Amino acid sequence: MIAIVAALIAVPVTLQADPAHSSASFSVKHMMVSTVRGGFNKLSSTLTWDKEDLTKSSVEATLDTASIDTREAKRDGHLKSPDFFDATRCPEITFKSNKIEKAGDNKYKVTGDLTMHCVTKPVTLDAEATGPVKSPFGPFSNYGISATGTLKRKDFGLVWNKAVESGGVVVSDDVKLNLDLEYSDAQASAKDSAKAKKQ
């Protein structure tokens, strides 16, 4: 079994994110004085991990727009409306990487296409990779990707706003994005184990 897991780690492996240990959050200035934070309760992600050269890896992520949660139901309803994400017309936010560059120890620049509000634009995220770490709960390993970036709402057609009498606007154009994704090769290990038993 150990040999099987080692073989899986030595070659690129496709992994699915564990929703229970993954999150997608954002923060944005409100009224120029406070920061509103929120996230998406439903997400999925696929990681193709190349241990020998992580710049040859790739990652995709999908967020359910309607699952937005800022801990305020009225605000969430407004964010789902055509004024913002237009969740009915644009039910998903997606990211697909097309280039990964090394930027330090376990640190990378991940460039890809972000689709939000039915608009696709290239973005670059600062990412940190960890793992594989052998799990104490079974013959498999865990992998992690943490990524951050700052987006311009207007780039994606999210232009709703109101002026503040003292100067500035209600919602900042700059939005900070944070992704913390955990993956496991448990399914791949199980499939390989089953194949080995048949042989």
8 Å CB contact between 99 and 111: yes
Q: Is the pLDDT of residue 134 over 80?
A: yes
Q: Mean pLDDT, the chain, as a whole number?
A: 89
- Mean pLDDT value across residues 132-140: 86
pLDDT at position 94, please? 98
pLDDT at 131: 85
User: In which band, very low, low, confident or very high, does the pLDDT at 192 lie, cut at 50, 70 and 90?
Assistant: very low
pLDDT score of 138: 82
Confidence of residue 198 (pLDDT cuts 50, 70, 90): very low
pLDDT for the residue numbered 190: 47
Question: Residue 196: phi, psi to the nearest 5?
Answer: -65, -40
pLDDT given for residue 187 in this prediction: 66
pTM: 0.84
CA distance 110 to 118: 21
CA 133 to each of CA 1, 92, 112, 157, 187: distance values in angstroms, whole numbers, following the listed order: 16, 31, 26, 40, 16
pLDDT at 151 over 90: yes
**Count of C-beta atoms within a 10 Å radius of residue 57:** 20
Sorted by where each starts, the structural domains of the chain and their CATH numbers stand as 2-106+121-198 (2.40.128.110)
| Better-scored residue on pLDDT, 137 or 66 | 66
